[in-house]
Structure 1
Amino acid sequence: MRTLIVGVGALGGIVGARLQAAGARVWLATRDAASADRLRRSGLRVSGVGGELGVDAPDVAPVESYLAGSAFDLVVLATKAQDAIDVAPKLNSILAPGGTILPIQNGGVSRILADRLGGNVVLGALSNLGATMREPGVYEQRNAGHLLVGELEGGTSERAERIRSWLGRAVEVRGTPNLEGAVWSKLLLNCAVTTLGAIAGQAMRAYVETAEGRALFDVTYDESLAVAKASGAGPERMIVDPIAPARNTPAREAWLGEVLAGYGDLKPSMLQDFERGRPTEVDFINGYVADVGRRHGVPTPANDAIVRVVHAITRGERTPDAANLRDVLAESRRAGT
């Protein structure tokens, strides 16, 4: 299966290196020629969970160089969300007959691309792999996570199984007949854990101990879940049951304990984006929930306010601070959440 991985950051680098180490030929696409030259000289090195390995990277080039007639059976999009949205229409032209684009970003990227390019072109996916790029070409796998693939319209398919098996030579890959539900399950936690931690500048365990932090977590999660249900998605269990028990009940406290056990001490990836001056993916996480909510008539004042605060931090008008939680909560309450 001729495979092009677009984006050689943490996730793309690990999948590409491990797939090549398993004996497959893999083509890699970078943002520019300088990045490609650097990786060609250094190769790819992976450490951490799954074992250490090093491979050469002879087939690496800027993404534009592949647009002149290459044909691939599989294009894995491992870029940031906005980059995936921008580049995918161009990559559609280099697919072999029956070829597939596989976006592995958080949030609504798979659905957005499937709506634009067609479900026959886009196969849905998400990643639970913890990965870090120490420097270009040097990666650490942080957990024994997996990729999840499936048809966005539900059910099973031969192509999903074929791609699961192929990429499974590199990392664990699971298939699901409810990929849309899995995407929403992760999206609920991204909205109410990752983004809130980012704007607070804290891990979840710290901010949820405050009255404002706990209240905003509850509001954001329940608001996002209402949108998921209105969209027709059936969120499925991942680390926790996505259907949270009613607020102010012992069952809710036990459920929150499960969330904290899985995510309470992790540094939010979006907070790392702030610190490194990188664009965030908030428009495809909380912003996506708000967009879907508008289409289905579900108010999303908490998610709307969170998006505004994230953009303000990105512009340098705010800094990550627990006071942001208070401001977002107050704004959502004024809107009646």
Structure 2
Amino acid sequence: MRILIVGVGALGGTIATRGINASVPIWLATRSAQSAAVLRSSGLRVSGVGGPAEVRSVRSAAVEEYATADKFDLIVLATKAHDALEIGPFLARLLAPRGTLLCIQNGGVSQMLSERLGDRVVLGGLSNLGATMVEPGVYEQRNAGHLLIGEVAGGISDRAMNVAEALRPAIEMRVTANLAGAIWSKLLLNCSVTTIGALANQTMRGYMASAAGQQVFHRTYDETLSVALATGTRPERMIVDPVPPEGDRAPWIDQILATYGDIKPSMLQDFERGRRTEIDFINGYATELGRKVGVGVAMNAAITAMAHRIEAGEIRPDPARLDDLLRQAG
């Protein structure tokens, strides 16, 4: 199976390094020819959980250069959500007749691209892999992680099983019959773990040590869960049961902290590098849907607005942002 990975950031780069190191036939697509040249020169290297892996010979090129190359059986779309929506139709033209475009972005990207390109082309997925790109081609893996994939319309298919088998040497693979529920389960954690940590410039363990951080977390999580349930989605269990226990939540929180407590939020890395974030596909997505179904989303709306202010350079990530959110959400 000829595989093209589009987007060689923390997630795509880690999967690519471990896959190529295991002799999986992988090509890489970057935003520019210069970025591709850097990877061909430096190779790829991963450290951390899972042990070290290094690849010296890399087949990489700017994404548009693949327009005249041989077709691919599988394209793994590992870019940011907004880039995925823009480039998805072009990538569909790079597929072999029965090829698959695997979208592993946050929010409803796989659903949106499936509506544009068709269920036969698009397979959805998501990952809980914690990784950081130290510099182009150099990655640090922070947890074992896995990639969960499934049909956008639901159910288990031979196609999903075959894709899982092809990528298994690179990352633990799982297949779900309830992709929509799995996507919402990750969205619950993204909305309440990743973005809050990014705004506060802290890990989850850091901001949960404060009363303000705990209040923001629980309000955000509960709002997002209410939106999911109101849309008729049945969230899947990921790290924890998606529905928190009645009463004491401390053991439930401890389970989340065990996996995500010390990981630097990917959105914080975007802020630091001056890059556009995925906020509109995370808390912004929950806010938009919540308003459509009549669910209160004041905290998600405040988080979305604050992230845009940080993107614009008006304010900076700081623990003080937690108290700001409580005031703004009311």
Q: What is the letter of the counterpart of residue 264 of structure 1?
A: G
More displaced 10-residue stretch of structure 1: 273-282 or 181-190:
273-282
Q: Secondary structure at the match of 1:154?
A: coil
Spell out the pairing of 1:16-35 with structure 2 (5 A cutoff): 16-35=16-35
Spell out the pairing of 1:106-255 with structure 2 (5 A cutoff): 106-246=106-246, 249-250=247-248, 252-255=249-252
Spell out the pairing of 1:2-21 with structure 2 (5 A cutoff): 2-21=2-21
More displaced 10-residue stretch of structure 1: 317-326 or 232-241:
317-326
Match of 1:304 among 296, 301, 305: 301
CA contact (8 A) 1:103 1:125 kept: yes
Spell out the pairing of 1:263-282 with structure 2 (5 A cutoff): 263-282=260-279
More displaced 10-residue stretch of structure 1: 11-20 or 254-263:
254-263
Report the equivalent of 2:283. Answer: 286
Q: Secondary structure at the match of 1:123?
A: strand
Report the equivalent of 1:259. Answer: 256
- Which consecutive unaligned segments of at least 5 residues does structure 1 have? none
Report the equivalent of 1:104. Answer: 104
Q: 1:9, 1:77 → 2: CA distance?
A: 11
Q: 2:164, 2:181 → 1: CA distance?
A: 18
Summarize deviations over 1:36-80 as a string: whole Å, max 9, x none.
112122222233333333334452110011123642111101112
Q: 2:139, 2:257 → 1: CA distance?
A: 27
Q: 2:219, 2:148 → 1: CA distance?
A: 28
Q: Identity of counterpart residues, as a percentage?
A: 59
Residue 117 of structure 1 and its aligned partner are, at CA, apart by 2.2
TM-score in terms of structure 2 length: 0.93
Report the equivalent of 2:318. Answer: 321
CA contact (8 A) 1:108 1:285 kept: no
| CA separation of 1:10 and 1:256: change in aligned 2, threshold 3 A | closer
Q: Secondary structure at the match of 1:86?
A: helix
Report the equivalent of 1:94. Answer: 94
Q: 1:38, 1:291 → 2: CA distance?
A: 39
TM-score in terms of structure 1 length: 0.91
Q: Secondary structure at the match of 1:171?
A: coil
| CA separation of 1:52 and 1:268: change in aligned 2, threshold 3 A | closer
2:292 is aligned with 1:295: yes
CA contact (8 A) 2:7 2:79 kept: yes
Residue 273 of structure 1 and its aligned partner are, at CA, apart by 1.8
CA contact (8 A) 1:196 1:217 kept: yes
Residue 159 of structure 1 and its aligned partner are, at CA, apart by 0.3
Q: 2:2, 2:207 → 1: CA distance?
A: 46
Q: 2:46, 2:262 → 1: CA distance?
A: 25
More displaced 10-residue stretch of structure 1: 87-96 or 66-75:
66-75
Report the equivalent of 1:39. Answer: 39
Q: Secondary structure at the match of 1:89?
A: helix
Q: 2:85, 2:69 → 1: CA distance?
A: 21
CA contact (8 A) 1:29 1:61 kept: yes
Spell out the pairing of 1:44-55 with structure 2 (5 A cutoff): 44-55=44-55
| CA separation of 1:36 and 1:71: change in aligned 2, threshold 3 A | same
Q: What is the letter of the counterpart of residue 296 of structure 1?
A: V
- Which consecutive unaligned segments of at least 5 residues does structure 2 have? none
Q: What is the letter of the counterpart of residue 262 of structure 1?
A: T
Question: Number of matched residues?
Answer: 330
Summarize deviations over 1:190-215 as a string: whole Å, max 9, x none.
11111112112222233234333222
Q: 1:66, 1:307 → 2: CA distance?
A: 36
CA contact (8 A) 1:11 1:78 kept: yes
Residue 272 of structure 1 and its aligned partner are, at CA, apart by 2.1
Q: What is the letter of the counterpart of residue 110 of structure 2?
A: S
More displaced 10-residue stretch of structure 1: 146-155 or 102-111:
102-111
Residue 311 of structure 1 and its aligned partner are, at CA, apart by 0.5
Residue 111 of structure 1 and its aligned partner are, at CA, apart by 2.4
Residue 242 of structure 1 and its aligned partner are, at CA, apart by 0.7
More displaced 10-residue stretch of structure 1: 218-227 or 114-123:
114-123
Q: 1:52, 1:206 → 2: CA distance?
A: 28
CA contact (8 A) 2:142 2:263 kept: no
CA contact (8 A) 2:130 2:263 kept: no
Q: Secondary structure at the match of 2:93?
A: helix
CA contact (8 A) 1:77 1:103 kept: yes
